[in-house]
Amino acid sequence: MPFKLQFWLLCCLLACPASAALLEDIQQLSAPVMQGRKTGTEGAVLAQHFIAQRYASLQLSQFSPDYRQTFNFGNNKAGVNIVAYHRGCTYPENYIVVTAHYDHLGKQGRKIFHGADDNASGVAAMLELAARLTQRCPAYSYVFVATDAEEGGLHGSKAFVAAPPVSLSSIVLNLNLDMISRADWRGRLYLTGAKRYPTLLEELERHFNKLQFVHHRGLPRTARSNPRHDWPNASDHGPFHRAGIAYLFFGGQEHPQYHTPDDTWQRIQPEFLTMAMQAIWHTVQWLEQQPPTVLQRAVQ
Ligand SMILES: [Zn+2]
């Protein structure tokens, strides 16, 4: 570990203890050795191993060996989702599927697109969530999906929905995490899909003033022409939404380093990341208190 990173992690440990593990996972997943985690590359394989090892050390269950769900897309391309689950106690036959894509843009020439915010941050938050949920028997069963090939057209989540390891009708909700570690120019993190849960919305509004709620039907047509503004299709919750499954999507908006080689771990905002993790955890705790009929509430 370079001295600079040690120093930085120490500062963060003192300032915001909740983020240390998250920051380290982000740093590892966006390290130069991962080569930008482009689908089908050696860097992606390294990322797969990293995530599978973390699942294993959390003693998460697997549907298939090494947690791998392989799939094909496009013109003979292959992708690999890394999928684990943890069985719940109150509603074990009802699943909350947490998704976060681990793939990114790879390299252009010698420039590596590290993808620290996009989306090492979401994967790290998913791992943190798994670590917390495995400390007890949660109400719901949870499936954790680190998706591949999101950047090229949500292929990993499409493949998961096309061949789910549990029946689609048993999935009560998709919680999708994509770019959660930096504020956009308005200083905000965005949550889409919460309109169907008014009490959750009220609670989050009370506790998190940097959270912006987005109701995709309310967006003007012009805003939807920007892919990051087309909320139902902006990330991996899209295929779940189209399959009639309720979703909640925590995600950031574009920032100056979005999809550039400068989306590095050094630019992560630790306090913002801590706030995001708290909001995600608050949401999961709320979900845990609700019966499946409430979670399945019709898509807004
Ligand atoms: Zn992304």
- Residue 231: the pLDDT is 73
pLDDT confidence band for 300 (50 / 70 / 90): very low
* Amino acid at residue number 111: K
> Span 275-281, mean pLDDT?
97
CB 180 within 8 A of CB 280: yes
Q: How far is the CA of 104 from the centre of ligand 1 (A)?
A: 7
> Span 27-34, mean pLDDT?
97
pLDDT confidence band for 236 (50 / 70 / 90): very high
Measure the CA–CA gap between 15 and 13, rounded to whole angstroms: 6
Average pLDDT, the chain: 90
> Span 190-194, mean pLDDT?
92
Domain ranges of the chain: 3-295
Q: How far is the CA of 80 from the centre of ligand 1 (A)?
A: 16
Q: How far is the CA of 249 from the centre of ligand 1 (A)?
A: 12
Residues 6+ positions from 164 with CB-CB distance below 8 Å: 171
Measure the CA–CA gap between 54 and 144, rounded to whole angstroms: 12
Per-residue pLDDT tens for 56-105?
A: 999 999 999 999 999 999 989 999 999 999 999 999 999 999 999 999 99
- Residue 253: the pLDDT is 80
Q: How far is the CA of 267 from the centre of ligand 1 (A)?
A: 16
Measure the CA–CA gap between 169 and 279, rounded to whole angstroms: 27
Q: How far is the CA of 149 from the centre of ligand 1 (A)?
A: 10
Burial class (CB in 10 A: 0-12, 13-18, 19+), 8: middle
> What percentage of the chain has pLDDT greater than the value 90?
79
- Residue 6: the pLDDT is 55
Q: How far is the CA of 137 from the centre of ligand 1 (A)?
A: 30
pLDDT confidence band for 216 (50 / 70 / 90): low
Per-residue pLDDT tens for 97-155?
A: 999 999 999 999 999 999 999 999 999 999 999 999 999 999 999 999 999 999 999 99
Reply yes or no on whether the pLDDT at 1 is more than 50. no
Measure the CA–CA gap between 20 and 4, rounded to whole angstroms: 15
The 10 Å CB-count burial string (b at 16+, else e) for 26-49 is bbbbbbeebbbbbbebebbebbbe
pLDDT confidence band for 286 (50 / 70 / 90): very high
Per-residue pLDDT tens for 9-18?
A: 555 444 444 4
Rg for the chain, CA atoms, rounded? 18
Least confident of 4-8, 147-151, 272-276: 4-8
For the chain, give percent helix, strand, coil, nearest 5.
Answer: 45, 20, 35
Nearest to 130 by CA among 159, 189, 122, 272: 122
CB 32 within 8 A of CB 112: yes
Q: How far is the CA of 13 from the centre of ligand 1 (A)?
A: 27
Top CATH class, 3-295: alpha beta
- Residue 227: the pLDDT is 56
Measure the CA–CA gap between 148 and 156, rounded to whole angstroms: 5
Residues 6+ positions from 260 with CB-CB distance below 8 Å: 113
Q: How far is the CA of 119 from the centre of ligand 1 (A)?
A: 5
